[in-house]
Amino acid sequence: MRTAAHHPLELSLAPRLRAGETLRGLFNGIPSPALVEMCGHAGFDFVVLDNEHGSADLQTTEHQLRAARAVGLPALVRCFEADIPRVLDMGAAGVVVPMVQDAAQAQRLATMTSYPAADTPWGRRGSAFSTRAAGYGAFGGAAHTERSNAGLLLVVMVETPEAAAHAVEIAQVPGVDAVFVGPNDLAHAMGHGPRWQDGPAQALIRQVLREVAGAGRCAGTLALTAADEARYAACGARFFANVSTSLITQALQAAARGGDAAVSY
């Protein structure tokens, strides 16, 4: 008999985010289901499959979503607007959309991530129950519509000074669940190149986090160290992400220098 345990959608992240929890995840652009599975065993709260900068095609993305579901790891997909319908139908727990510039763009994205219903009158997502997200028909119908509208997340990224000026308006768009500040692109757009630790870039990052959190919305950003997380948490951020390639490269470099690694065989 089919049960919720067999459902292809892993939607445990949304209620935790909306309850105000601090959440820690990982951007992963390496097209490896095994690595995604490892992230779940490591204890991350979520993974973001990075289809903006990563090399996965859609079929590999779907396999990564299966691996995440196997270990109970909520998996979002960072993707461009045109790919939103397909990654949601493949069973993503939500999407992270880069370079959102204003509230009008955020509203358009919200229409794409929700089905039209009484609680989501803005929704315009196309409905099909033959997809993996609906169990290829096994979990289709009204229950799928309700489950998806309640459990899928829309995270929008603020990555330019122009977007930063509209961050509160973006955050308050119905259907937007979190605003994530992209520090590297923001620093580049400000003329600092990759130096997002420069004073002016840091000041704007913290300003956006404070404004979004102050408006009662979830704010997030990269936190590559415990010090980063503490700094941004003091501004109200509670949705943090590291980067798999950064962590792996650091571990490999340490091993290459003869450092110890906490690995059990």
Residue 36 counted as domain residue: yes
Number of domains in the chain: 1
Q: Determine the pLDDT at residue 6.
A: 84
Domain at 245, CATH number = 3.20.20.60
Q: Of the residues 6, 7, 41, 53, which is catalytic?
A: 53
Residue 162 is assigned to a structural domain of this protein: no
Q: What is the pLDDT of residues 69-107, one digit of tens each?
A: 999 999 999 999 999 999 999 999 999 999 999 999 999
Please tell me the distance from the alpha carbon of residue 95 to that of residue 108, in angstroms, as a whole number. 14
Give 21-56 pLDDT, tens digit per residue: 999 999 999 999 999 999 999 999 999 999 999 999
Number of H-type helices and E-type strands within the chain: 12, 8
Non-local (6+) Cβ contacts of 205 within 8 A are 181, 183, 186, 196, 221, 232
The string over 130-144, giving b where at least 16 C-beta atoms fall within 10 Å of a residue's C-beta and e elsewhere, is ebbbbbeeebbeeeb
pLDDT reported for residue 260: 64
Domain assignment of residue 132, given as a range: 21-154+224-255
In a domain, 189, yes or no: no
Q: Is residue 48 part of a domain?
A: yes
Chain-centroid distance of CA 122 in Å reads: 21
Phi-psi map region of 191: left, alpha, beta (phi>0 left; psi -120 to 50 alpha): left
Per-residue pLDDT of the chain in tens (265 residues, 90 and over written 9):
556 668 999 999 999 999 999 999 999 999 999 999 999 999 999 999 999 999 999 999 999 999 999 999 999 999 999 999 999 999 999 999 999 999 999 999 999 999 999 999 999 999 999 999 999 999 999 999 999 999 999 999 999 999 999 999 999 999 999 999 999 999 999 999 999 999 999 999 999 999 999 999 999 999 999 999 999 999 999 999 999 999 999 999 999 999 765 543 3
Residue 31 lies in a domain: yes
Please enumerate in sequence order all residues whose Cβ is within 8 A of that of 244, keeping only pairs 6 or more positions apart, or say none: 26, 27, 28, 29, 30, 35, 39
In a domain, 107, yes or no: yes
The answer to whether position 240 is within a domain reads: yes
What's residue 259's pLDDT?
74
Q: For this structure, is 53 an active site residue?
A: yes
Q: Does residue 132 lie in a domain region? A: yes
Work out the mean pLDDT of the chain and round it to a whole number: 95
